[in-house]
Amino acid sequence: MNNLKIQNILIEGVAIIQPDHFEDERGFFLENFKVSSYSNPLIENIKFVQDNLSRSKKGVLRGMHYTINKPQAQMLTVVRGKIFDVVVDLRRNSKTFGKWYGVELGDGCARQIYMPHGIAHGFCVLSDWADLHYKVTEEYDPSDEGGLLWNDPGVGINWPIDNPIVGKKDSKYPLLTNIEYNHLPQKN
């Protein structure tokens, strides 16, 4: 197996990855990560140090989260269910600053999304339940977490659900225009 496909998108450094997988009437086998396969100029020199799992029910919207000073890249795989995944470039010195990109991930589409440091991330659940697996390059530090309001009209994310279930913390994040300059990540 070595049919990994990596597709660059509108936002520099963010990639959709189609990993090696095999599927038949019994089910599937997915090679979720193998360092030799993921050695690609877009995501080279990555060193994952922590794995996280998340489960959310239909209608839940989580995000938009990012790290400020401690560079944390992440790679997300939907293990079960389907989500609409969104990234927003918050790197203050990036030519795509403030731009967003959304993609469906999960059942029926064996794809991952890779995000470098400086990208705000969020998702909404389209299936009854969704289980997500994150690989991250820096251990979680709550003192370094930033957030962008999920429905910031200046960013204009086109979420595919009405009336999402949003947590208290996520609903109180600021608009992009109200985030202080020194609370925005810098592009590496």
Q: Which one of 65, 101, 114, 117 is the catalytic residue?
A: 65
Q: Which two tokens stand for residue 74?
A: 């992440």
Summarised one tens digit per residue, pLDDT across range 122-174 is: 999 999 999 999 999 999 899 999 999 999 999 999 999 999 999 999 999 99
Domain range summary for the chain, segments of one domain joined by +: 46-183
Superfamily grouping for domain 46-183: Jelly Rolls (2.60.120.10)
Summarised one tens digit per residue, pLDDT across range 61-118 is: 999 999 998 889 999 999 999 999 999 999 988 999 999 999 999 987 778 999 999 9
Q: Which one of 21, 133, 134, 183 is the catalytic residue?
A: 134
Is 66 considered catalytic here? no
Task: Supply angle C-alpha 175, 178, 184, rounded to 5.
Answer: 90
pTM assigned to the model = 0.90
Cα distance between residue 188 and residue 97, in whole Å: 14
Is 101 considered catalytic here? no
